[in-house]
Amino acid sequence: MTEKNDRLYLDHAASSPLRMCARQAWLNANQFPANPSSRHQDGMRASDLFSDARATVKLFLGDDYEVVFTSGGTESIILSVLGALSPTFEDVHLVATQIDHSAVLGLYARLEQLGVTITLIQPTRSGLIRPQDVERALQPNTHLVCMQHANNETGVIQPVEEVSRVIRQHKAILLIDAVQTAGKIPLATVDADLMAVSAHKFGGPRGIGALRIRPGLKLAPIIMGASHESGLRAGTENVAGAAGMAAAAEECMRNELSTTGKERIKQLRRYWEKGLAELEFECTLVSDAPTLSETICILIPGVRGDAVADGLDLLGISVGTGSACHASDFSPSHVLTSMGLERDAALSAIRISFGLNTTEEEIDRVMESLDLVVRRLRSIAGL
């Protein structure tokens, strides 16, 4: 097994490395013992840190909106869905998509038991949700439309602006799951009633996220009781988490979202694609639609993606797979099968997701390792 320091981490879409600035801000905030609700000076200092963090996250997400801190993407989405649909789940229609994150597909199943009717839109073979399909799914009692800004497995960027225009003609609320795009695409100008983000996907701490809310939109709380977060989330605030998230957001605005940052990411993407095209075995991108440059989902016919990922892992490289593994049962990804991929093709997927600090030398190392692993797996399979 390779030493920890030699490891190459290319699974940013699952969770990205904690930025130094976020770590510093988190440590700094934790030096203050206080609860931000306390009246003393320490309490006020904690309260100031929390307000500063909110102001920065608002700049990141759109200054005209409200921002509520949550524990992450899942909670932000669940607060949106339950908060927008409550108190009655009868005669309520929800539009969502088959490629939604598994964290929320389970929620939809529960909502159906409570009486909500749900239309799950199927993506195209490229993994796109078509605005006309959203329009067709709308009913007079559609309260909420949920869709991702970009998919976590394929990286495919959804036409959220067009969907938003379609929904504006209707009275439904639009929730955008921007967990994968925060720090990669500017969000402040994306028109949506609700937007969910998570700090650990853009170099902030795990366990903190935010929900952006259009002013005036009323949601019911899911953690109710005390009046924290405008009554939407009772409980002592995670000041250090918010400070870490804000520091990461600030760095993204300065680096990843700058013209030079975006150009560098595109350059790295081109280098990845060139390397993949030069491999001696067949290896195709899962989609030809516009995709996040940082997320590369490839299919390698004849081998299993989990076996490739395990082989790379032994060589010190962490990547993701398109399949969800449950002990001995390896199911193909619901995202890839909903795009119409056959089971074997879906099981052959791996996802490489990188960041601004990834280098060409590291990409070369992945290509060499991929070559080695896939050749071995193919020779074992007699191909």
Positions in the binding site for ligand PLP (CB under 6 A): 72-74, 101, 103, 148, 152, 177, 179-180, 198, 209
**Residue closer to ligand PLP, measured from CB, 11 or 251:** 11
Is beta strand 173-177 parallel, antiparallel or unpaired with respect to 194-198? parallel
| Rounded (5°) CA angle 89-95-101 | 100
CB 219 within 8 A of CB 31: no
Give the shortest CB-297-to-ligand PLP separation in angstroms: 13
* Nearer CB in complex with ligand PLP: 145/377: 145
Nearest approach in angstroms of CB 41 to ligand PLP is 33
The least distance separating ligand PLP from the CB of residue 278, rounded to whole angstroms, comes to 30
Cα–Cα distance, 140 to 130 (Å, whole number): 20
Query: For ligand PLP, which is the closer residue by CB, 101 or 184?
Result: 101
Give the number of other Cβ atoms within 10 Å of residue 371's Cβ. Answer: 15
Of 318, 317, 315, 345, residue with least CA distance to 333: 345
Range list of H helices, the chain: 20-30, 41-61, 73-85, 102-113, 131-137, 160-168, 239-254, 259-278, 305-314, 334-338, 343-347, 360-380
Length of the chain, please? 383
Q: What one-character DSSP code corresponds to residue 316?
A: T
Active-site residue list: 325
Nearer to ligand PLP, 248 or 363 (CB): 248
Spatial distance between the Cα atoms of 192 and 217, rounded to a whole number of angstroms: 11
Cis check for the bond before 159: say yes or no (omega within 30 of 0).
no
d(CA 14, CA 208): 15
| Residue in 141, 150, 139 with CA at minimum distance from that of residue 297 | 150
Q: Which is nearer to ligand PLP, 92 or 208 (CB)?
A: 208
Paired strand residues for 117: 93
For the bound state, the minimum distance from the C-beta of residue 77 to ligand PLP, rounded and expressed in Å, comes to 6
DSSP code, position 101? -
Minimum gap (Å) between residue 249 Cβ and ligand PLP? 15
The minimum distance between CB 152 and ligand PLP, in angstroms, equals 3
Task: Read off the amino acid at residue 331.
Answer: S
* CB proximity list for 33: less than 8 A, separation 6 or greater: 42
Which residue of the chain is nearest ligand PLP when measured via CB?
73
Residue 72 or 183: the one with the smaller Cβ distance to ligand PLP is: 72
* Nearest Cα residue to 221 out of 208, 213, 209, 231: 231
Nearest one of 250, 251, 256 to 54, comparing CA atoms: 250
Contact 19, 247 (CB under 8 A): yes
Min CB(114)–ligand PLP separation in Å: 21
* CB nearer to ligand PLP: pick between 291 and 369: 291
